[in-house]
Amino acid sequence: MKNYVIMILLLAVTAWTVVAQDTPPAVVEDFKPSVINQPGKQFPQVNSEGRVRAQISAPEAHRVQLDISAVKYDLVKDDKGVWTGESAPQDEGFHYYQLWVDGAAVPDPGSLYFYGASRWGSGVEIPAKDQDFYAMKDVPHGQVREIHYFGKSSNSMRRCFVYTPPGYDQNLNTRYPVLYLQHGGGEDETGWSNQGRANLIMDNLIAEGKATPFIIVMDNGSWAMPRMERPAQQAAPPQGERPRQGERPAGFRSMAGFAEGFSKTLLEDIIPMIDANFRTLADQPHRAMAGLSMGGMQTRAITLANPEVFSHVGMFSGGSYSLEDVNNAPGFKEKIKFLFVSFGSRELENRRAGFGGDPRENTEALKNAGMNTHFYVSPQTAHEWQTWRRSLYEFAQRIFK
Amino acid sequence: MKNYVIMILLLAVTAWTVVAQDTPPAVVEDFKPSVINQPGKQFPQVNSEGRVRAQISAPEAHRVQLDISAVKYDLVKDDKGVWTGESAPQDEGFHYYQLWVDGAAVPDPGSLYFYGASRWGSGVEIPAKDQDFYAMKDVPHGQVREIHYFGKSSNSMRRCFVYTPPGYDQNLNTRYPVLYLQHGGGEDETGWSNQGRANLIMDNLIAEGKATPFIIVMDNGSWAMPRMERPAQQAAPPQGERPRQGERPAGFRSMAGFAEGFSKTLLEDIIPMIDANFRTLADQPHRAMAGLSMGGMQTRAITLANPEVFSHVGMFSGGSYSLEDVNNAPGFKEKIKFLFVSFGSRELENRRAGFGGDPRENTEALKNAGMNTHFYVSPQTAHEWQTWRRSLYEFAQRIFK
C-alpha cells in the first residue's frame, strides 16, 4: 500500500513536469514601461510577475536576444522588423542587462544607462513591495555634489560624489558625521546614487526622523589611475594613460593589494580633502565606512588595519569579520562601536560552505565576544542592488546614534 | 594664348577631380581613442584629420554603419566578425553619433553617453586647437550639485544642476551673481556640464582671473512634466505621466508657447528656489540668462518680456534680437547691460537669408542704438557643442564686471 501511494505520487510529479515542459506558463499581459527608461521610451517594460519585455527595431537582423541575470532570451521579429520578447520573472529591484543584435552586445536604446560590469549599460527596475523607501518624494532633499580634486597618492585628478543632507547650506554652524560608502567591482563612484539611490534613501529616512543626518562620500575604489580628461558626471581615463585592454591596472594583484591601494587613497587623499572642504565632525567617533561586495572587502581590510579612523562599519555582500580577524587586529574590538554585516537571502542559500566562514555565525561570535553587531538578510534578493539599497537603509538608521 | 591657358587649367582641374574620385584620400593612420570613451575602451578612435574610426564585434551581422553628422559610413568585417570603419573628417569638438547593426540604431558600447537628439547616445571628441580652455586641470574646482525640488507651476518634482564656483563653501560671507544657462532642443539639464563642460570652462577662467566667480543654474527647459521617479544624474519621467510616444508634451504648441511655459517655471519656481537655497545676489544687476539654440530662443522671449529680472543676456546659435524686438519691449534697451549673440561660422555660411534677420546686422543695429552688445563667431564650427563651449567662454568673461 505504501509503495502504491509513492508510485502514484511519482507519476503525478512526472505528469506535472511533462505538462510544465510542454506549455510554458502564460505571460501576464500587464506590462508597463520600466521607471528608469529614457524619457518617452516605451520599452523595456515590466509586468506583475517581474518579467522584462524588451523591444527593438532591427529589420535586417536574424537574431536578437535579451541578456539579463546571465540568461539570454530570444526575441521574435514581426513583419515590420520589430523584435519583442520577455525574460523569466526577475527578483525585485534593479538589474543590469543588455541586448545582442546579430552577435553585437549593445545597450538597449530604451533604458537609462548605469556603470556596472565595467561598462555603461542598460538597467531595468522591477517594482518592489518596499520601493517606497527609495522613492523620489516631495520631502526636503539633500544635494549630490560632483567634486574634482587632485589626489597626491595617485598623482592625478580624481572625482567623487558627496551627498550633503537637507539643511547643510542653512545650518552653517552644524558639523556632520561622514560615511565613506564604496561601490562594487566593475562599478564606480556613480553607482551608489544612480543605481543605489543613496541620496533618496537618506532624504526619506531623515524626513521620517529615522536617521541622524550625515554626509556620504562616494569615491572610486577601483584603482588609482590618472583621469585628467573626462566629461563631468561620467568617468573616463585619459588616452595614453589607461591600461591596455585586458591588462590589469597597475597595482592590481590580489584583493589584499587592491584594498591596500585604495586604503592609501582613502586615508591620504579622500578623507583629508573631505575634512578640509566640508563641515565634518573630523574624528573617529563620527566617521563610518561601508561598501558592497568588493567595497565590503575593502571596508574589512581598511577598518581592521585602521580602527582609530572609523567607528561604524558596514559590509554588504562582501563576506564577514571572523573572530580571528578581529583578534588579530589590535584595538578593533574596543574601538569599533557598531559592526553591520548583510547579505541577500539568495546569496546565503547559494553560498559555498566555508568561504570566509558562515557570515551569520561569524557575526554572532563577535556579538558574543562583546561587540555591537547587526546581521541583516534582505528577503528574496541576490548579489544585486536591491540587497544593497536595503542594507544602506538598515545601516543608516543605526549609525551615529 | 589666353584661351589656351584656361583650357589647360580646366583639363588639369578635370584630371585632378577624376583622380580624386577614383582614389579617395588616404586615411592618416594616427588614430587614438577618443578622450570620452568608457574606461579601458579602445574605440571609437580619432585621427589628426578629425576622422572617427568605430569598431564593434558583430559576427552574425551583415551590415554595420557609423552614423555621424547625418552621414552613414559602412564598416568592414574582418574574419573574426569585428567591424571597423571611419568617417570623413569632422569639425573640432564634441559630436553625437550612433551605430547601426542590421537596421538597429544603437549606442556604441565604447563611448560615454550624452543626452541629445532626445536620447542618451554616444559622443566623440575631436581634439581642438583651443581645447585647453575646457580641459580638466589641477586648478581650484567648483562643484556641480544635483538639486531636487518641488516645482509648484508644474506640480512636480524637478531636477537641476547648480555650479558653485571654487571657494563657495569657504567664503561664507560672499554672495554671488547667477547665470541661468539653458540647453538646446532634445537636450536636458545634463548637457551644459556633460557635453558643454561649463564647470571646467568656469574653473579655468576663474583660475586665470578672467571671469568674475558666479553661480550657474542648469535646469530643464524642455517642458514642465512631472518627473517623480528617476535615478539621480539622469532624468526619466514616471510611467503613466509621460506623453505617449510621438505625442507632443502638454503645452507644446509653438516656440512662443514653449518659451512661455518655461518662463513661468523659471520665474516662479527656479529663481525663487535658487535665491532661497544659495548665497545669491538676488537682484537684476546680478542675474543673467543665456542659452543655446532652443535655449537661446527661450532666452530672447523671456528677457524681452522681463528686462527687470535679467541684466546680462546671451544667445548662442539661437537667432538674434532685432531693433524691432527691442523697440517693442518696454525697458529692455535701458535695463539690459550686456547683450551677447553668437554663432558657429558654418551656421552663418549656411544660413538662409532673412531668418529673423542677419544676426550680425541686427546686433550691430542695437549697438548703434546705444546698447552694449557683442557679436561672436566661433571659427570653423557648426550648430554643435564646440560653438557653445566657445560662446560660454567668451560670454562668461564679459558679464558681472
pLDDT higher than threshold 80 for residue B106? yes
Q: In this predicted model, what pLDDT tens digit does every residue of B252-273 receive, in sequence order? A: 445 556 677 899 999 999 999 9
What percent of chain B has a predicted confidence (pLDDT) above 70?
A: 84
Number of other residues whose CB lies within 10 A of the CB of residue A351: 13
Separation between Cα atoms, residue A301 and residue A298, nearest integer Å: 5
Residue B10 within a domain: no
Q: In this predicted model, what pLDDT tens digit does every residue of B58-90 receive, in sequence order? A: 999 999 999 999 999 999 999 999 999 999 999
Q: Which residues contact A253 (CB under 8 A, 6 or more apart)?
A: none
A145 in the same domain as A104: no
**In this complex, which of A200, A231, A239 lies closest to B112 when CB atoms are compared?**
A231
User: Which pLDDT band holds residue A393 (cuts at 50, 70, 90)?
Assistant: very high
| pLDDT for the residue numbered A242 | 34
| pLDDT for the residue numbered A252 | 40
Q: Which amino acid is at A286?
A: H
> Average pLDDT of B353-359?
71
| pLDDT for the residue numbered A3 | 59
**In this complex, which of B57, B229, B235 lies closest to A104 when CB atoms are compared?**
B57
> Average pLDDT of B22-36?
90
Test B143 with A144 for CB contact under 8 angstroms. no
Give chain A positions within 8 Å (CB) of B113.
Answer: 107, 113, 120, 234
Give chain B positions within 8 Å (CB) of A194.
Answer: 231-234
Q: In this predicted model, what pLDDT tens digit does every residue of A259-271 receive, in sequence order? A: 778 999 999 999 9
A380 in the same domain as A362: yes
Last residue of a domain, one of A92, A127, A162: A127
Number of other residues whose CB lies within 10 A of the CB of residue A144: 26
Test A239 with B59 for CB contact under 8 angstroms. no
Higher confidence at residue B16 or residue A324? A324
- Here the ipTM equals 0.88
Residue A165 within a domain: yes
Separation between Cα atoms, residue B36 and residue B123, nearest integer Å: 7
| pLDDT for the residue numbered A246 | 37
Test B120 with A113 for CB contact under 8 angstroms. yes
The Cα of A379 is separated from the nearest Cα of chain B by a number of Å equal to 23
Interface residue of A143, A159, A223 to substitute, partner B, most B CBs within 10 Å: A143
Residue A237 within a domain: no
Residue A10 within a domain: no
Higher confidence at residue A142 or residue B8? A142
Test B148 with A135 for CB contact under 8 angstroms. no
| pLDDT for the residue numbered B131 | 98
Give chain A positions within 8 Å (CB) of B57.
Answer: 103-105
pLDDT higher than threshold 50 for residue B244? no
B181 in the same domain as B47: no
> Average pLDDT of B348-361?
76
A50: left (phi over 0), alpha (psi -120 to 50) or beta: left
Q: What would the DSSP string read from start to end of A55-88?
A: EEE-TT-S-EEEEETTEEEE-EE-TTSEEEEEPS
Total domains present in chain B? 2
pLDDT higher than threshold 80 for residue A171? yes
User: CB–CB of A163/B146 below 8 Å?
Assistant: no
User: What's chain A's average pLDDT?
Assistant: 89
Q: How far is CA B366 from CA A396, B130, B322, B363, in A?
A: 59, 30, 8, 5
Residue B326 within a domain: yes
User: Of A223-237, B100-114, B149-163, which range is least confident?
Assistant: A223-237
User: Which pLDDT band holds residue A255 (cuts at 50, 70, 90)?
Assistant: low
Could you give the residue ranges of the DSSP H alpha helices within B229-354?
Answer: 255-264, 271-277, 294-305, 323-327, 332-335, 345-350
| pLDDT for the residue numbered A230 | 42
Nearest CA in chain B to A164: B145
Can you give the residue range of the structural domain that contains B326?
Answer: 132-227+249-396
Last residue of a domain, one of B127, B150, B166: B127
Instruction: Tell me whether A81 touches chain B (CB under 8 Å).
Output: yes
Interface residue of B31, B35, B162, B228 to substitute, partner A, most A CBs within 10 Å: B35
- C-alpha grid cell for residue B397? 568673461
For residue B122, the Cα-to-chain-centroid distance in whole angstroms is 15
| pLDDT for the residue numbered B101 | 98
User: What's chain B's average pLDDT?
Assistant: 89
A274 in the same domain as A364: yes
CB within 8 Å of chain B, chain A residues 226-245:
228-240, 242-243, 245
User: CB–CB of B385/B369 below 8 Å?
Assistant: no
B107 in the same domain as B70: yes
Q: In this predicted model, what pLDDT tens digit does every residue of B187-222 receive, in sequence order? A: 999 999 999 999 999 999 999 999 999 999 999 998
| pLDDT for the residue numbered A259 | 76
| pLDDT for the residue numbered B71 | 98
The Cα of A145 is separated from the nearest Cα of chain B by a number of Å equal to 4
The Cα of B121 is separated from the nearest Cα of chain A by a number of Å equal to 8
User: Which pLDDT band holds residue A295 (cuts at 50, 70, 90)?
Assistant: very high
Interface residue of A35, A147, A173, A245 to substitute, partner B, most B CBs within 10 Å: A35
Separation between Cα atoms, residue B180 and residue B343, nearest integer Å: 19
A269 in the same domain as A144: yes
pLDDT higher than threshold 80 for residue B344? yes
| pLDDT for the residue numbered B224 | 42
| pLDDT for the residue numbered B25 | 77
Nearest CA in chain B to A148: B141
A193 in the same domain as A154: yes
Neighbour-count burial for A297-310, b at 16+ CB within 10 Å, e otherwise: bbbbbbbbbbbebb
Q: In what order do the strands lie in the sheet with B82-86?
A: B32-33, B45-46, B52-57, B82-86, B76-77
Burial class (CB in 10 A: 0-12, 13-18, 19+), A120: buried
> Average pLDDT of B314-337?
97
Give chain A positions within 8 Å (CB) of B218.
Answer: none
CA torsion through residues A285, A266, A322, A316, sign: positive
Residue A76 within a domain: yes
Test B233 with A237 for CB contact under 8 angstroms. no
| pLDDT for the residue numbered A115 | 98
Instruction: Tell me whether B119 touches chain A (CB under 8 Å).
Output: yes
Give chain A positions within 8 Å (CB) of B236.
Answer: 35-39, 112
User: CB–CB of A126/A382 below 8 Å?
Assistant: no
Give chain B positions within 8 Å (CB) of A190.
Answer: 233
- C-alpha grid cell for residue A195? 543605481
Instruction: Tell me whether B281 touches chain A (CB under 8 Å).
Output: no
Separation between Cα atoms, residue B367 and residue B360, nearest integer Å: 11
| pLDDT for the residue numbered A215 | 98
pLDDT higher than threshold 90 for residue B238? no
Test A145 with B145 for CB contact under 8 angstroms. yes
> Average pLDDT of B222-236?
44
Instruction: Give me the CATH number covering residue B380.
Output: 3.40.50.1820
Tell me B266's DSSP state. Answer: I
Q: Measuring CA to CA, which residue among B378, B371, B374 is closest to residue B395?
A: B374
pLDDT higher than threshold 90 for residue A7? no
User: Which pLDDT band holds residue A44 (cuts at 50, 70, 90)?
Assistant: very high
User: CB–CB of B376/B340 below 8 Å?
Assistant: yes
Nearest CA in chain A to B223: A39
A184 in the same domain as A68: no
**In this complex, which of B35, B120, B238 lies closest to A112 when CB atoms are compared?**
B120
Residue B189 within a domain: yes
pLDDT higher than threshold 60 for residue B243? no
User: CB–CB of A378/A133 below 8 Å?
Assistant: no
Last residue of a domain, one of B63, B98, B127: B127
Give chain A positions within 8 Å (CB) of B237.
Answer: 39-40
Q: In this predicted model, what pLDDT tens digit does every residue of A342-365 receive, in sequence order? A: 999 999 987 654 467 899 999 999
- C-alpha grid cell for residue A174? 552644524
Q: In this predicted model, what pLDDT tens digit does every residue of A108-131 receive, in sequence order? A: 999 999 999 999 999 999 999 999
Separation between Cα atoms, residue A195 and residue A317, nearest integer Å: 16
Longest pairwise C-alpha distance within chain A: 82
Instruction: Tell me whether A200 touches chain B (CB under 8 Å).
Output: yes
> Average pLDDT of A309-315?
98
Neighbour-count burial for A219-258, b at 16+ CB within 10 Å, e otherwise: bbbbbbbbbebbbbbbbbbbbeebeeeeeebeeeeeeeeb
**In this complex, which of B103, B143, B231 lies closest to A36 when CB atoms are compared?**
B231
| pLDDT for the residue numbered B11 | 56
Bridge partners (DSSP) listed for residue A147: A160
Q: How far is CA B62 from CA A16, B68, B101, in A?
A: 44, 20, 8
> Average pLDDT of B313-319?
97
**In this complex, which of B138, B150, B278 lies closest to A157 when CB atoms are compared?**
B138
B293 in the same domain as B176: yes
A295 in the same domain as A391: yes
Nearest CA in chain B to A191: B232
| pLDDT for the residue numbered A232 | 40
Residue B263 within a domain: yes
**Pairing assessment for the beta strands A52-57 and A82-86 based on DSSP bridges:** antiparallel
Q: Measuring CA to CA, which residue among A107, A112, A127 is closest to residue A52?
A: A127
CB within 8 Å of chain A, chain B residues 40-79:
40-42, 56-64
B137 in the same domain as B269: yes
Instruction: Give me the CATH number covering residue B88.
Output: 2.60.40.10
A285 in the same domain as A342: yes
